Amino acid sequence: MDATRRQVLGRLMTGFGGVAAGCVGQTGRGPPTTGRPEADVVVGMDSALRFDPERLTIRAGETVVWYFATDTHNVSAVPDHHPEVVLPAGAAPFASIPTDEPFLTNPQGSTFRHRFTTPGRYVYVCVPHASVGMIGEIRVEA
C-alpha cells in the first residue's frame, strides 16, 4: 500500500531515518521553526522517481522544504547540472548538494529548504534521475 504524502512527512519529521550529515546549504531535520509560510515536497516517496507534488505555486518570500524519503536523490536548480533547469531572470541557482558534485545525493530523512524571493517559473531536477523524468516545477507569484 502506498503511503500518503502526509504519512511520509510525519515519519520523516519524527526522525524515522537518516541524518542531515553531508547536506549543504539550508538543510536540517524535522518541522520548520521559522514561522514563515512553507510548502512541502517529498522526494522519492514510495521509492518513486518523482517529486510530490511535481508542480507547486507559492508566493514570493515563501520557503519550500524538500523531505528526502529515500537516499538516492537530490534537488538542483543549477543550469549547468541539467538542460531542463529553468530560472527566472535575476534568480540565483540553488541545490541540496555542492554545485561541483551534481551526482551527490541527500541522506534519507534529511531536508533541504530554499526561500523564493524572485517571482517566476523555476524548473528543478534530481540530477541522478532527471533523464527519466524526475523534474519539478515551482511557480512563484509576486
Rounded Cα distance, 86 and 77, in Å: 7
Sign of CA pseudo-dihedral 59, 65, 68, 69: negative
Q: How confident is the model at residue 124 (pLDDT cuts 50, 70, 90)?
A: very high
The range of the structural domain enclosing residue 96 comes to: 5-141
Number of domains in the chain: 1
51 forms beta bridges with: 43
pLDDT at 4 over 70: no
Chain segment 47-93, per-residue pLDDT in tens: 899 999 999 999 999 999 999 999 999 999 999 999 999 999 999 99
Q: What is the distance between the terminal CA atoms of the chain, rounded to a whole angstrom? A: 39
**What average pLDDT does this structure show over 118-122?**
98
Task: Please list, residue by residue across 2-39, b when 16 or more beta carbons sit within 10 angstroms of its beta carbon and e when fewer do.
Answer: eeebeebbeebbeeeebebeebeeebebeeeeeeeeeb
User: Tens of pLDDT along 91-112?
Assistant: 999 999 999 999 999 999 999 9
Which CATH number goes with the domain that contains 99?
Answer: 2.60.40.420
